[in-house]
Amino acid sequence: MGWPLYTACVTVLLAVVLMVLPNPPLTDRARLWKDRGSFFKFGNHDIFYIDEKGRNPDKGTVLIFHGFPTSSFDWYKVLDDLKDEFGQVVMYDLLGFGFSDKPLSHAFTISEQTDIGEALLLKLGVTQAHILSHDYGDTVALELLARHNKGDGRINIQSLCLSNGGIFPETNHPMPIQWIMKNSVVGPVISKLFYFKFIFKMRFRNVFGVPPSDEEMDDFFSIKLHKDGNLADSRLLNYISERSMYRDRWVGALQTTRVRGLVFDRKRIGNLLHCIGEYPSYNSSDTENRKLLEISTG
């Protein structure tokens, strides 16, 4: 048996084994985060959200979008700091992520993710908000901004802060594994392999400035696999194609808006703070959190 055939056989065998393995239970910290939030119905889907009163009512509401492949849990370390800065802090797990539903064979779109955010704020009686986003969430925020600019949005945006989003398709190139996982045929199988616990931890911790502890990696892992979330990746990654398809709309919204905004990536932040990596909301110390909030809230 040649090496290519041997490798293929081992890969298929691993995939079969992983397909039948049960997903891990939620960690204690992940369960506490889930208990802290609530669910609302968007169409037939249950959407998880956090809505907490802040200590600075003069600043109003902040709506927060998380990145790929994680969830609103990304922000749990800075939630108390955000409550110091705003009168209300709202965040939710985008459809296909975290504790929200992961519908099988669903065509996930940025437009729908934005619809969910608008529906949530209106449910909470909020008609204007500051926007804070990361990674995948930056694209959702830009669709919200495009609607705001054209006057057909349901939410008035007071300010906008985007972080580490790769919003320019001509300069941001997806990793090869993302292109493979995008494939509707092999994507689900590759996703199962990628989310083998050892492989997940080895690859995912590299995006952090200071690698999370094993216990923290278990938090991310258990939330990601909740409701078979890893199987949704091949469809969620459609946003890569959407960024090119709607570049003029989303980048144009940023170029023409009158909304006070800020775009930063880890290179810019790296000049100001140390060791925060791709996830500034998770990786920064209390002092650095305060600096990040000063940057993002002006």
CB distance 285 to 296 below 8 Å:
no
Question: What is the tens place of the pLDDT at every residue in 205-250?
Answer: 777 767 788 999 999 999 999 998 888 888 898 898 899 999 999 9
In a domain, 272, yes or no: no
Q: Which residue has the higher pLDDT, 269 or 5?
A: 5
Question: What pLDDT sits at residue 204?
Answer: 80
Residue 202 has pLDDT above 90, yes or no: no
Give residue 295's pLDDT band: very low, low, confident or very high (50, 70, 90): very low
In a domain, 254, yes or no: yes
Question: What pLDDT sits at residue 275?
Answer: 38
Question: Among the listed ranges 53-57, 126-130, 136-140, 256-260, which one has the minimum average pLDDT value?
Answer: 256-260
Residue type, 261: G
In a domain, 10, yes or no: no
The structure tokens listed for 179 are: 């292109």
* 101-115, 205-219, 274-288, range with greatest mean pLDDT: 101-115
Longest distance between any two alpha carbons in the chain, whole Å? 70
Question: What pLDDT sits at residue 130?
Answer: 94
Question: What is the tens place of the pLDDT at every residue in 56-87?
Answer: 999 999 999 999 999 999 999 889 989 999 99
User: What gap in Å lies between CA 250 and CA 248, rounded to an integer?
Assistant: 6
Full-model pTM: 0.85
As a whole number, the mean pLDDT across the chain is 82
SS3 55: coil
Residue 164 has pLDDT above 70, yes or no: yes
Residue type, 273: L
In a domain, 217, yes or no: yes
Question: What pLDDT sits at residue 272?
Answer: 39
Question: What is the tens place of the pLDDT at every residue in 109-138?
Answer: 999 999 999 999 999 999 999 999 988 999
User: What gap in Å lies between CA 218 and CA 204, rounded to an integer?
Assistant: 11
User: Exposed, middle or buried, 175 (CB in 10 Å: 0-12/13-18/19+)?
Assistant: exposed
Nearest in space to 90 (alpha carbons), one of 120, 70, 68, 111:
120
Q: Supply the CATH number for residue 147's domain.
A: 3.40.50.1820
In a domain, 6, yes or no: no
159: which residues sit within 8 A by CB, 6+ positions away? 130, 131, 259, 260, 261, 297, 298
> Rounded to the nearest 5°, which phi and psi values hold at 34?
-65, -40
Give residue 268's pLDDT band: very low, low, confident or very high (50, 70, 90): very low
Rounding to the nearest 10 degrees, give the CA dihedral for residues 196, 199, 201, 207.
Answer: -130
Give residue 182's pLDDT band: very low, low, confident or very high (50, 70, 90): low
Domain count, the chain: 1
In a domain, 9, yes or no: no
In a domain, 16, yes or no: no
Give me the domain span that covers residue 109. 23-264
In a domain, 18, yes or no: no
The average pLDDT across 151-165 equals 89
Q: Looking at the DSSP assignment, which residues form a beta bridge with residue 262?
A: 161
The average pLDDT across 177-188 equals 63
